[in-house]
Structure 1
Amino acid sequence: MPTTLIFASFFLALLGLSLQRKHLLSLLLTLESMALTLYVTTALWALNSTSLPIMVAPLIILTFSACEAGMGLSLMIATARTHNTDQLKALNLLKC
């Protein structure tokens, strides 16, 4: 039963990711919910395992999730400062 709920929450976050195409902040929130469900899944998997590499996997996913959140928020702040909006259409205007 908990496995079904975890997969349902992941696919709901994936559906939200595909439907939220207007604001960058809502896109980042759905990405964070996907990362949270992956963290919960690997944490439950590590509880049932005795292998050391599997026990480290939740920490690795949590680290990547924090890095992803930091980079996403910095991109949103840079976009909001330069274009005065957090719309995803403004990301096409960022050119090197």
Structure 2
Amino acid sequence: MALTYTQVWVLIVGLAALTVLIKAAGPVVLGGRQLPPWFSRVTMLMAPALLSALVVTSVLAAGRSWSVGAHTVGVGVAVVMLWRRCSLVLCVVVAVAVTAGLRAI
């Protein structure tokens, strides 16, 4: 199913409006009250979980299927280097070099 140019923009504007409504719903519903401590702990854990899910799907997905390629190995090398406390810039440079080297083979 292909969307027309107008449908894409209507979808973008609608999603932006929905995002604003969702963000505004929290302060309106709570009205300045404090959240329970268990709820704060859960919401603090949601951002890392969502970020890791996005990273995994962008690294392992190729269209509608799962695949492992040079980019997956590059991200893996960067993860290991970050785990070993290397510089972020160095991790990115090495990951790019590994990915480019594997694609050149």
TM-score range, shorter chain: 0.3 to 0.5
| Greater Rg over alpha carbons, structure | 2
Relative to its length, the structure with more helix (as a share) is: 1
Higher RCO, 1 or 2 (CA under 8 Å, sep at least 6)? 1
